[in-house]
Protein backbone atom coordinates (compact mmCIF):
# COMPACT_ATOMS: atom_id res chain seq x y z
CA UNK A 1 0.00 0.00 0.00
CA UNK A 2 1.36 3.43 -0.96
CA UNK A 3 0.67 5.52 2.09
CA UNK A 4 3.39 8.14 2.17
CA UNK A 5 5.00 10.59 -0.22
CA UNK A 6 8.59 11.32 -1.09
CA UNK A 7 9.27 14.64 -2.77
CA UNK A 8 12.47 14.80 -4.81
CA UNK A 9 13.74 18.30 -5.59
CA UNK A 10 16.33 18.49 -8.37
CA UNK A 11 18.35 21.72 -8.27
CA UNK A 12 20.68 20.94 -11.18
CA UNK A 13 21.07 23.60 -13.82
CA UNK A 14 22.45 21.16 -16.42
CA UNK A 15 19.92 19.03 -18.26
CA UNK A 16 20.81 15.32 -18.52
CA UNK A 17 23.87 15.83 -16.31
CA UNK A 18 25.08 13.76 -13.38
CA UNK A 19 22.48 15.00 -10.91
CA UNK A 20 19.63 14.17 -13.28
CA UNK A 21 20.95 10.61 -13.56
CA UNK A 22 21.43 10.30 -9.78
CA UNK A 23 17.91 11.54 -9.13
CA UNK A 24 16.45 9.20 -11.74
CA UNK A 25 18.19 6.19 -10.20
CA UNK A 26 17.07 7.20 -6.71
CA UNK A 27 13.49 7.40 -7.95
CA UNK A 28 13.77 3.97 -9.59
CA UNK A 29 14.90 2.53 -6.25
CA UNK A 30 12.25 4.36 -4.27
CA UNK A 31 9.54 3.22 -6.68
CA UNK A 32 10.12 -0.34 -5.48
CA UNK A 33 8.86 0.75 -2.05
CA UNK A 34 5.34 1.64 -0.95
CA UNK A 35 6.01 5.34 -1.26
CA UNK A 36 4.44 7.64 -3.82
CA UNK A 37 7.18 9.67 -5.51
CA UNK A 38 6.74 13.32 -6.46
CA UNK A 39 9.47 14.95 -8.51
CA UNK A 40 10.27 18.60 -9.20
CA UNK A 41 12.99 19.93 -11.50
CA UNK A 42 13.59 23.48 -10.35
CA UNK A 43 15.01 24.70 -13.68
CA UNK A 44 11.64 23.95 -15.30
CA UNK A 45 9.63 25.87 -12.72
CA UNK A 46 8.77 29.49 -12.17
CA UNK A 47 10.06 30.36 -8.71
CA UNK A 48 10.73 34.01 -7.96
CA UNK A 49 13.66 35.07 -5.83
CA UNK A 50 12.79 35.71 -2.22
CA UNK A 51 12.76 39.51 -2.01
CA UNK A 52 12.98 39.61 1.77
CA UNK A 53 9.64 41.39 2.20
CA UNK A 54 8.97 39.07 5.16
CA UNK A 55 5.25 39.06 4.42
CA UNK A 56 5.41 35.36 5.27
CA UNK A 57 6.66 36.21 8.76
CA UNK A 58 4.18 39.02 9.31
CA UNK A 59 1.05 37.59 7.69
CA UNK A 60 1.88 33.90 7.28
CA UNK A 61 1.42 34.20 3.52
CA UNK A 62 4.04 34.50 0.76
CA UNK A 63 4.12 37.60 -1.43
CA UNK A 64 4.37 35.43 -4.56
CA UNK A 65 1.90 33.05 -6.14
CA UNK A 66 4.18 30.98 -8.34
CA UNK A 67 5.21 27.33 -8.59
CA UNK A 68 6.41 27.49 -5.00
CA UNK A 69 2.80 27.54 -3.83
CA UNK A 70 2.24 24.04 -5.21
CA UNK A 71 5.64 22.83 -4.04
CA UNK A 72 4.99 23.94 -0.47
CA UNK A 73 1.70 22.03 -0.53
CA UNK A 74 3.54 18.95 -1.80
CA UNK A 75 6.09 19.28 1.00
CA UNK A 76 3.25 19.25 3.52
CA UNK A 77 2.08 15.90 2.11
CA UNK A 78 5.58 14.42 2.08
CA UNK A 79 7.22 12.24 4.68
CA UNK A 80 10.65 12.59 3.09
CA UNK A 81 12.05 15.46 1.04
CA UNK A 82 15.17 14.89 -1.07
CA UNK A 83 17.36 17.87 -1.96
CA UNK A 84 19.61 16.98 -4.92
CA UNK A 85 22.11 19.48 -6.29
CA UNK A 86 25.58 19.68 -7.77
CA UNK A 87 28.16 21.37 -5.57
CA UNK A 88 28.65 24.92 -6.86
CA UNK A 89 31.52 26.77 -5.19
CA UNK A 90 31.17 24.62 -2.07
CA UNK A 91 27.42 25.26 -1.92
CA UNK A 92 24.21 24.29 -3.69
CA UNK A 93 23.26 25.78 -7.07
CA UNK A 94 21.54 29.15 -7.17
CA UNK A 95 18.37 27.35 -8.22
CA UNK A 96 18.41 25.21 -5.10
CA UNK A 97 19.38 28.10 -2.84
CA UNK A 98 16.53 30.19 -4.19
CA UNK A 99 14.11 27.34 -3.56
CA UNK A 100 15.42 26.89 0.00
CA UNK A 101 15.16 30.63 0.64
CA UNK A 102 11.51 30.50 -0.31
CA UNK A 103 10.99 27.94 2.46
CA UNK A 104 11.44 30.88 4.83
CA UNK A 105 7.64 30.73 4.91
CA UNK A 106 8.03 27.75 7.26
CA UNK A 107 10.28 29.74 9.56
CA UNK A 108 7.20 31.58 10.77
CA UNK A 109 6.31 30.24 14.25
CA UNK A 110 2.74 29.68 13.05
CA UNK A 111 3.89 27.61 10.05
CA UNK A 112 6.90 25.81 11.48
CA UNK A 113 4.93 22.94 12.96
CA UNK A 114 3.72 22.11 9.44
CA UNK A 115 7.16 20.83 8.46
CA UNK A 116 8.83 20.17 11.81
CA UNK A 117 10.23 16.65 12.01
CA UNK A 118 10.02 15.93 8.30
CA UNK A 119 12.89 13.85 6.97
CA UNK A 120 15.48 15.24 4.58
CA UNK A 121 17.96 13.39 2.39
CA UNK A 122 20.68 15.45 0.68
CA UNK A 123 22.30 14.20 -2.54
CA UNK A 124 25.32 16.07 -3.92
CA UNK A 125 27.36 15.53 -7.08
CA UNK A 126 30.75 17.22 -7.30
CA UNK A 127 33.80 17.48 -9.50
CA UNK A 128 36.57 16.96 -6.98
CA UNK A 129 37.85 13.43 -6.51
CA UNK A 130 38.17 13.59 -2.74
CA UNK A 131 35.43 14.86 -0.48
CA UNK A 132 37.82 15.96 2.29
CA UNK A 133 37.18 19.52 3.41
CA UNK A 134 35.37 20.54 0.26
CA UNK A 135 31.96 19.70 1.69
CA UNK A 136 32.40 21.45 5.06
CA UNK A 137 30.67 24.64 3.93
CA UNK A 138 27.75 22.73 2.46
CA UNK A 139 27.33 20.66 5.61
CA UNK A 140 27.39 23.71 7.84
CA UNK A 141 24.84 25.43 5.61
CA UNK A 142 22.46 22.46 5.65
CA UNK A 143 22.93 21.93 9.37
CA UNK A 144 21.82 25.48 10.09
CA UNK A 145 19.03 25.44 7.51
CA UNK A 146 17.57 22.18 8.81
CA UNK A 147 17.80 23.35 12.40
CA UNK A 148 16.00 26.61 11.55
CA UNK A 149 13.05 24.67 10.15
CA UNK A 150 13.20 21.76 12.63
CA UNK A 151 13.82 19.31 9.80
CA UNK A 152 15.52 15.97 10.42
CA UNK A 153 18.56 14.98 8.39
CA UNK A 154 18.53 11.36 7.25
CA UNK A 155 21.83 11.47 5.42
CA UNK A 156 24.08 13.50 3.16
CA UNK A 157 25.34 11.41 0.26
CA UNK A 158 28.19 12.55 -2.01
CA UNK A 159 29.06 11.54 -5.56
CA UNK A 160 32.57 12.88 -6.21
CA UNK A 161 34.71 12.88 -9.37
CA UNK A 162 31.83 13.89 -11.64
CA UNK A 163 33.27 16.90 -13.44
CA UNK A 164 32.10 16.17 -16.98
CA UNK A 165 28.44 16.10 -17.88
CA UNK A 166 28.34 12.35 -18.54
CA UNK A 167 31.01 11.34 -15.99
CA UNK A 168 28.51 9.24 -14.12
CA UNK A 169 28.27 6.86 -17.08
CA UNK A 170 31.75 5.67 -16.01
CA UNK A 171 30.57 5.05 -12.43
CA UNK A 172 28.19 2.09 -12.41
CA UNK A 173 28.90 1.69 -8.68
CA UNK A 174 27.28 5.10 -8.05
CA UNK A 175 24.13 4.05 -9.87
CA UNK A 176 23.90 0.88 -7.84
CA UNK A 177 24.51 2.81 -4.62
CA UNK A 178 21.84 5.41 -5.24
CA UNK A 179 19.31 2.81 -6.40
CA UNK A 180 19.95 0.93 -3.16
CA UNK A 181 19.57 4.09 -1.10
CA UNK A 182 16.21 4.74 -2.73
CA UNK A 183 15.17 1.17 -2.09
CA UNK A 184 16.56 0.46 1.38
CA UNK A 185 16.91 3.76 3.21
CA UNK A 186 13.35 4.58 2.38
CA UNK A 187 11.84 1.17 2.97
CA UNK A 188 13.43 0.77 6.39
CA UNK A 189 11.95 4.01 7.72
Residues that bind ligand FMN (CB under 6 A): 12, 14, 17-19, 86-90, 125-128, 134, 162-163, 165
d(CA 147, CA 28) in angstroms, rounded, equals 30
**Long-range own/partner contacts, residues 144-149 (CB < 8 A, 24 or more apart):** 145/100, 146/120, 148/107, 149/103, 149/106, 149/107, 149/112, 149/115, 149/116
Closest-by-Cβ residue to ligand FMN is 17
Residue with Cβ nearer ligand FMN (106 or 174): 174
Burial 104-138 (b: 16+ CB within 10 A, else e): bbbbbeebeeebeebbbbbbbbbeeeeeeebbeeb
Q: How far is the CB of 3 from ligand FMN (least distance, A)?
A: 31
Q: How far is the CB of 94 from ligand FMN (least distance, A)?
A: 9
Q: How far is the CB of 146 from ligand FMN (least distance, A)?
A: 21
Residue with Cβ nearer ligand FMN (67 or 128): 128
Q: How far is the CB of 62 from ligand FMN (least distance, A)?
A: 28
**Contact by Cβ (8 Å): 10, 23:** yes
Residue with Cβ nearer ligand FMN (29 or 86): 86
Residue with Cβ nearer ligand FMN (62 or 162): 162
Residue with Cβ nearer ligand FMN (8 or 115): 8
d(CA 108, CA 114) in angstroms, rounded, equals 10
Q: How far is the CB of 92 from ligand FMN (least distance, A)?
A: 10
Amino acid sequence: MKAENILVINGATRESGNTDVIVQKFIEGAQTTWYTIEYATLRELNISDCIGCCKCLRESVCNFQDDMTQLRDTILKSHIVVFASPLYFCEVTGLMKNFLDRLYFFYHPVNKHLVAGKNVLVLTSLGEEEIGNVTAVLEEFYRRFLRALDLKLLDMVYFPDLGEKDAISQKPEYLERIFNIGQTLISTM
